[in-house]
Amino acid sequence: MTTVAASAYDTLHEHFRQIHLLEGTAAILSWDQETMMPAGGVAFRGEQLAQLAGLGHRRRTDPKLGELLAAAADSLEGDEQAPARVNLREWNRDRERAMKLPAELVEEFARVSSTAQHEWAEARRDSDFARFKPWLEKLLELNRRKAECLGWDRAGGEPWDALGDLYEPGLSAKDIESVFTPLASRLRALIAEIASAPKRPDDRFDRLELPEAQQEAFVRFVADAIGFDFSRGRLDRSTHPFCGGSHRNDVRLTTRFRSNLTLDALGSTMHECGHGIYEQGLSAEHLGTPMGEAASLSVHESQSRLWENQVGRSQPFWRWLTPKLDGFFGSAVAGLDAAAMYGAANRVEPGFIRVEADEATYNLHIMIRFDLERRMLRGDLAVDDLPAAWNEHYRNYLGLEVPDDRRGCLQDVHWSMGAMGYFPTYTLGTMMSAGLFEAAERAMPGLAEGLARGEFGPLREWLVANVHAHGRRHRFRELYQLVVGEAFSADPLLRYLEGKLRPLHGI
Amino acid sequence: MTTVAASAYDTLHEHFRQIHLLEGTAAILSWDQETMMPAGGVAFRGEQLAQLAGLGHRRRTDPKLGELLAAAADSLEGDEQAPARVNLREWNRDRERAMKLPAELVEEFARVSSTAQHEWAEARRDSDFARFKPWLEKLLELNRRKAECLGWDRAGGEPWDALGDLYEPGLSAKDIESVFTPLASRLRALIAEIASAPKRPDDRFDRLELPEAQQEAFVRFVADAIGFDFSRGRLDRSTHPFCGGSHRNDVRLTTRFRSNLTLDALGSTMHECGHGIYEQGLSAEHLGTPMGEAASLSVHESQSRLWENQVGRSQPFWRWLTPKLDGFFGSAVAGLDAAAMYGAANRVEPGFIRVEADEATYNLHIMIRFDLERRMLRGDLAVDDLPAAWNEHYRNYLGLEVPDDRRGCLQDVHWSMGAMGYFPTYTLGTMMSAGLFEAAERAMPGLAEGLARGEFGPLREWLVANVHAHGRRHRFRELYQLVVGEAFSADPLLRYLEGKLRPLHGI
- The band of A2, judged by pLDDT with boundaries at 50, 70 and 90, is very low
Cβ neighbours of A464 (radius 10 Å): 17
Please indicate, yes or no, whether residues B145 and B224 belong to a single structural domain of this protein.
Answer: no
Shortest alpha-carbon distance between residue A250 and chain B (Å): 5
Contacts of B122 by beta carbon, 8 Å cutoff, 6+ apart: B128, B131
Q: H helices of A282-331, where?
A: 297-305, 315-329
- Give the pLDDT mean for A451-459: 98
Q: Are B473 and B291 in contact (CB under 8 A)?
A: yes
CA distances from A197 to A185, A481, A502, B234, B465 (A): 18, 36, 9, 53, 73
* Angle, helices A42-60/A103-125, rounded to nearest 10 degrees: 150
Of B256, B96, B70, B66, the residue nearest B165 (C-alpha):
B96
Tell me, what's the pLDDT at B207? 86
- The band of A203, judged by pLDDT with boundaries at 50, 70 and 90, is confident
Please indicate, yes or no, whether residues A326 and A395 belong to a single structural domain of this protein.
Answer: yes
Task: Name the DSSP letter for residue A449.
Answer: H
- How many angstroms separate the CA atoms of A375 and A381, rounded? 5
- How many angstroms separate the CA atoms of B211 and A282, rounded? 42
Structure-derived torsion over alpha carbons of residues A205, A206, A210, A214, reported in degrees to the nearest 10: 80
Shortest alpha-carbon distance between residue A249 and chain B (Å): 5
Distinct helix (H) and strand (E) counts, chain B: 20, 3
Assign B251 to helix, strand or coil.
Answer: strand
CA A83 remoteness from chain centre? 25
The reply to whether B166 falls in a domain is no
- Under-70 pLDDT residues of chain B: 1-6
Shortest alpha-carbon distance between residue B407 and chain A (Å): 27
- How many angstroms separate the CA atoms of A117 and A415, rounded? 9
Shortest alpha-carbon distance between residue B8 and chain A (Å): 22
- How many angstroms separate the CA atoms of A142 and A23, rounded? 21
**Does the distance separating the beta carbons of B45 and A18 come in below 8 Å?**
no
- How many angstroms separate the CA atoms of A70 and A9, rounded? 10
The reply to whether B369 falls in a domain is yes
Share of chain A above pLDDT 90, in %: 93
Of B366, B401, B395, B358, the residue nearest B505 (C-alpha):
B358
The catalytic residue among A34, A90, A158, A272 is A272
Interface test with A, best of B14, B36, B49, B224 (most A CBs within 10 A): B36
**Does the distance separating the beta carbons of A29 and B234 come in below 8 Å?**
no
**Does the distance separating the beta carbons of B18 and A45 come in below 8 Å?**
no
Active site residue B272: yes
Q: What residue numbers bound the domain in which B354 lies?
A: 173-504
The reply to whether B352 falls in a domain is yes
Interface test with A, best of B33, B235, B247, B282 (most A CBs within 10 A): B247
Q: Are A139 and A416 in contact (CB under 8 A)?
A: yes
Assign A198 to helix, strand or coil.
Answer: coil
The reply to whether B421 falls in a domain is yes
Number of A:B CB contacts under 8 A? 91
Please indicate, yes or no, whether residues A220 and A144 belong to a single structural domain of this protein.
Answer: no
Please indicate, yes or no, whether residues B307 and B455 belong to a single structural domain of this protein.
Answer: yes
Q: Fill in the amino acid letter for B181.
A: T
Cα nearest neighbour of A48 on chain B: B21
Q: Name the residue among B28, B41, B51 with its Cβ closest to that of A29.
A: B28
Interface test with B, best of A19, A32, A107 (most B CBs within 10 A): A32
Q: Name the residue among A43, A48, A231 with its Cβ closest to that of B24.
A: A48
- Give the pLDDT mean for A263-274: 97
The reply to whether B168 falls in a domain is no
Please report, in angstroms and rounded to a whole number, the separation of the first and last CA atoms in chain B.
62
Q: Name the residue among A25, A234, A249 with its Cβ closest to that of B29.
A: A25
Interface of B with A (CB under 8 A): 18, 21-22, 24-25, 28-29, 32, 36-41, 43-45, 47-48, 51-52, 55, 229-234, 246-247, 249-250
Please indicate, yes or no, whether residues A128 and A181 belong to a single structural domain of this protein.
Answer: no
Q: Name the residue among A41, A51, A229 with its Cβ closest to that of B18.
A: A51
- How many angstroms separate the CA atoms of B43 and A248, rounded? 12
Rg, chain B, Cα only? 23
Cα nearest neighbour of A46 on chain B: B21
**Does the distance separating the beta carbons of A32 and B249 come in below 8 Å?**
no
Cα nearest neighbour of A23 on chain B: B48
**Does the distance separating the beta carbons of A21 and B51 come in below 8 Å?**
yes
Q: Are A295 and A268 in contact (CB under 8 A)?
A: no
Q: Name the residue among B45, B231, B246 with its Cβ closest to that of A39.
A: B231
The reply to whether A315 falls in a domain is yes
CA distances from A244 to A179, A241, A277, A300, A446 (A): 29, 10, 12, 12, 33
Cβ neighbours of A170 (radius 10 Å): 12
**Does the distance separating the beta carbons of B231 and A38 come in below 8 Å?**
yes
Mean pLDDT score across all residues of chain A: 96
Where a domain ends, among A86, A119, A151?
A151
* Angle, helices B173-195/B424-443, rounded to nearest 10 degrees: 70
Please indicate, yes or no, whether residues B119 and B244 belong to a single structural domain of this protein.
Answer: no
Q: Are B373 and B420 in contact (CB under 8 A)?
A: yes
Share of chain A above pLDDT 70, in %: 99
Rg, chain A, Cα only? 23
Cα nearest neighbour of A280 on chain B: B40
Please indicate, yes or no, whether residues B235 and B88 belong to a single structural domain of this protein.
Answer: no
Q: Name the residue among A18, A38, A51 with its Cβ closest to that of B230.
A: A38
Shortest alpha-carbon distance between residue A34 and chain B (Å): 14
Interface test with B, best of A15, A17, A45 (most B CBs within 10 A): A45
Shortest alpha-carbon distance between residue B88 and chain A (Å): 23
Interface of A with B (CB under 8 A): 18, 21-22, 24-25, 28-29, 32, 36-41, 43-45, 47-48, 51-52, 55, 229-234, 246-247, 249-250
Please indicate, yes or no, whether residues A194 and A95 belong to a single structural domain of this protein.
Answer: no
Task: Kindly tell me if the per-residue pLDDT of A477 is higher than 60.
Answer: yes
The catalytic residue among B107, B168, B272, B301 is B272
How many domains is chain B partitioned into structurally? 2
Q: Are A1 and A42 in contact (CB under 8 A)?
A: no
Q: Name the residue among A25, A48, A231 with its Cβ closest to that of B39.
A: A231
- Give the pLDDT mean for A408-416: 96
Shortest alpha-carbon distance between residue B82 and chain A (Å): 26
Interface test with A, best of B17, B21, B122 (most A CBs within 10 A): B21
Tell me, what's the pLDDT at B2? 45
Helix/strand/coil (H/E/C) assignment for every residue in B289-303: CHHHCCCCHHHHHHH
Shortest alpha-carbon distance between residue B129 and chain A (Å): 24
**Does the distance separating the beta carbons of A246 and B38 come in below 8 Å?**
no
The CATH number covering residue B442 comes to 1.10.1370.30
Please indicate, yes or no, whether residues A114 and A194 belong to a single structural domain of this protein.
Answer: no
- How many angstroms separate the CA atoms of B475 and B147, rounded? 21
Please report, in angstroms and rounded to a whole number, the separation of the first and last CA atoms in chain A.
62
The reply to whether B156 falls in a domain is no
**Does the distance separating the beta carbons of A48 and B250 come in below 8 Å?**
no
- How many angstroms separate the CA atoms of A293 and B291, rounded? 44
Contacts of residue B36 in chain A, CB cutoff 8 Å?
36, 234
The reply to whether B158 falls in a domain is no
Cβ neighbours of B5 (radius 10 Å): 17
Contacts of residue A29 in chain B, CB cutoff 8 Å?
25, 28
Please indicate, yes or no, whether residues A431 and A304 belong to a single structural domain of this protein.
Answer: yes
- How many angstroms separate the CA atoms of A212 and A258, rounded? 7
B237 strand-pairing partners: B255
Of A183, A178, A174, the residue nearest A493 (C-alpha):
A183
Q: In what order do the strands lie in the sheet with B233-237?
A: B233-237, B250-255, B243-247
Please indicate, yes or no, whether residues A275 and A411 belong to a single structural domain of this protein.
Answer: yes
Contacts of A138 by beta carbon, 8 Å cutoff, 6+ apart: A112, A116
Assign A247 to helix, strand or coil.
Answer: strand
Contacts of B238 by beta carbon, 8 Å cutoff, 6+ apart: B34, B35, B254, B255, B256
- How many angstroms separate the CA atoms of A49 and B400, rounded? 51
Strands B233-237, B250-255: pairing is parallel
Cα nearest neighbour of B230 on chain A: A38
Q: Name the residue among A22, A52, A249 with its Cβ closest to that of B41.
A: A249
Task: Kindly tell me if the per-residue pLDDT of A191 is higher than 70.
Answer: yes
Q: H helices of B242-330, where?
A: 262-281, 297-305, 315-329
Q: H helices of B330-475, where?
A: 338-345, 359-378, 386-398, 424-443, 447-452, 457-466
Task: Kindly tell me if the per-residue pLDDT of A468 is higher than 80.
Answer: yes
Q: Are B147 and B162 in contact (CB under 8 A)?
A: yes
Contacts of residue A37 in chain B, CB cutoff 8 Å?
250
Q: Is A130 exposed, middle or buried (0-12, 13-18, 19+ CB in 10 A)?
A: exposed
Q: Are B233 and B364 in contact (CB under 8 A)?
A: no
Q: Are B421 and B370 in contact (CB under 8 A)?
A: no
Q: Are A308 and A434 in contact (CB under 8 A)?
A: no
Cα nearest neighbour of B55 on chain A: A55
Task: Kindly tell me if the per-residue pLDDT of A1 is higher than 50.
Answer: no
Please indicate, yes or no, whether residues A131 and A229 belong to a single structural domain of this protein.
Answer: no
**Does the distance separating the beta carbons of A18 and B231 come in below 8 Å?**
no
Of A5, A9, A21, A169, the residue nearest A96 (C-alpha):
A169
Cα B225–Cα B227–Cα B233 angle in degrees, nearest 5? 115
Task: Kindly tell me if the per-residue pLDDT of A219 is higher than 90.
Answer: yes
DSSP A431-444: HHHHHHHHHHHHH-
Q: Fill in the amino acid letter for B367.
A: M
Helix/strand/coil (H/E/C) assignment for every residue in A29-52: HHHHHHHCCCHHHHHHHHHHHHHH
Tell me, what's the pLDDT at A6? 55
